[in-house]
Amino acid sequence: MFNQITLIGNLGNNAEVQAEGRLLKLSVATSSNYKNKSGEWVNDTEWHNVKLWNDKANEMATRFLKGSRVLVVGSIATSENNEGKKFTFIKARSVKSLTAQKNQGESW
């Protein structure tokens, strides 16, 4: 079995740091365009919750700002909150900024 996902998308907000600076959380939007049955173009946007465990999360957060384009490689994971509700997220193995910045192309 194989569980891998690769996303290229834009951040919907600035990166969030949790777990005493060890967890980086990102909200990534991906979109696709297609023609519906009426022949009209439709833009379909999907939002993905991404989590990356890394001791450098505080430093990384300064590079992942709202609107930035990112490349995420990871796997699909499921977690359960305190109320027993399950949710799906992307457990990232690496995140790379694709937006031209001072540290262009730096990946984690």
Give tens-digit pLDDT for 20-72.
Answer: 999 999 999 999 999 999 999 999 999 999 999 999 999 999 999 999 999 99
What's residue 102's pLDDT? Answer: 54
Apex 81 CA angle, 71 and 90, nearest 5 = 15
Domain ranges across the chain: 5-32+43-97
The pLDDT of residue 104 is above 80 = no
Q: What is the DSSP annotation of 23-75?
A: EEEEEEEEEEEEE-TTS-EEEEEEEEEEEEE-TTHHHHHTT--TT-EEEEEEE
Instruction: Name the pTM for this structure.
Output: 0.84
Of 61, 63, 86, residue with least CA distance to 76: 86
Q: Give the pLDDT band of residue 1 (cuts 50, 70, 90).
A: confident
Domain 5-32+43-97 listed as CATH 2.40.50.140? yes
